[in-house]
């Protein structure tokens, strides 16, 4: 099934598509294939690249694709080779284009007064940001056509602005990625529309795929959190008396239920006939 159908299926039948947080998770997922009735080599996992998720470096403000002002050119942003995560304004038209953050362009900074400063020195996006923070305030943020025109009037070559993105940053269940195991050379965004990830269960490597492709599915169940705590009771009541124990359990259970804790189990340990401990 497709990645979207796989996500729907996993959410209906289990919890969500598989999430892999570390090497141990990866090895466990890989081992889960053994003993399967199917010869599963490749399956969808929950990793995907949300191409609408961008951010301004100035204040780490979220940028909502399709809602906030933009001046993207043609089919931009197109994320060529899955490596274009920073933004320039082009001198020919004033339109925006996504580029590799390691490309060279001139920074457009913004100062404390809200004025734009065009710097006639080409550098990477990362160095451009560092320069703007050190000498002014930040890389430029562009909120409307007027601000875009002001920058366009200053520049004579590709100019960095503060709009950037962190690719493959989230799993289907909303958690942030902490561990990635891409096959060498991946992701490549072949054809410009490979935004979902599959896992090879033989090699344990990931590949980016067109979300409409059909593969098997790796789901995960909801992990129930369990915790244990101890309570030391000091009382003159006879805690070996079953009726006293029952009343204590009822009162404690009612209190914990108000806090949203259910499914509690209590085990008694009696010391010197008086001190008891309970475990959940």
pLDDT at 224: 46
pLDDT at 251: 79
Residue 48: closest CA among 204, 197, 188, 178 = 197
Please give the distance of CA 260 from its chain centroid, rounded to a whole number. Answer: 28
pLDDT at 58: 94
Note the pTM of the prediction, 2 decimals: 0.75
pLDDT at 244: 74
* Contacts for 177 with CB less than 8 Å, ≥ 6 apart: 47, 168, 169, 170, 171
Residue bearing tokens 């899955």: 82
Question: What's the average pLDDT block by block, 10 residues per block, for the chain (280 residues)?
Answer: 97 96 90 60 96 95 94 96 97 98 98 97 98 98 98 97 97 95 96 96 95 95 61 72 77 72 64 46
pLDDT at 221: 84
Alpha carbon distance 79, 97 (integer Å)? 9
pLDDT at 223: 56
């Amino acid at each position: 099934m497709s990645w979207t159908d796989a996500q729907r299926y996993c959410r209906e039948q289990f919890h969500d598509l598989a999430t892999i947080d570390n090497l141990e998770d990866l090895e466990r997922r890989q081992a889960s294939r053994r003993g399967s009735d199917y010869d599963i080599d490749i399956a969808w996992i929950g990793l995907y690249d949300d191409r609408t998720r961008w951010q301004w470096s100035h204040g780490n403000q979220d940028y909502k694709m399709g809602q906030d002002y933009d001046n993207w050119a043609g089919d931009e942003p197109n994320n060529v080779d899955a490596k274009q995560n920073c933004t320039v304004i082009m001198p020919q038209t004033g339109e925006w284009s996504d580029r590799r953050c390691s490309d060279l362009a001139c920074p457009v900074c913004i100062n404390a007064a809200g004025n734009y400063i065009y710097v006639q020195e080409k550098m990477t996006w990362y160095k451009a940001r560092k320069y703007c923070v050190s000498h002014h305030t930040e890389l430029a943020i562009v909120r409307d056509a007027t601000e875009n025109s002001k920058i366009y009037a200053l520049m004579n070559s590709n100019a960095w602005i503060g709009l950037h993105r962190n690719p493959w940053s989230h799993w289907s269940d909303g958690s942030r990625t902490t561990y990635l195991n891409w096959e060498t050379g991946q992701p490549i965004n072949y054809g410009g529309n490979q935004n979902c990830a599959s896992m090879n269960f033989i090699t344990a490597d990931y590949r980016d795929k067109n979300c409409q492709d059909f593969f098997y599915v790796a789901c995960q169940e909801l992990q129930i959190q369990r915790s244990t705590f101890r309570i030391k009771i000091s009382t003159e009541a006879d805690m070996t008396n079953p009726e006293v124990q029952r009343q204590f359990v009822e009162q404690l259970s009612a209190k914990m239920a108000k806090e949203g804790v259910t499914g509690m189990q209590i085990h008694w340990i009696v010391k010197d006939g008086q001190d008891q401990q309970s475990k959940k």
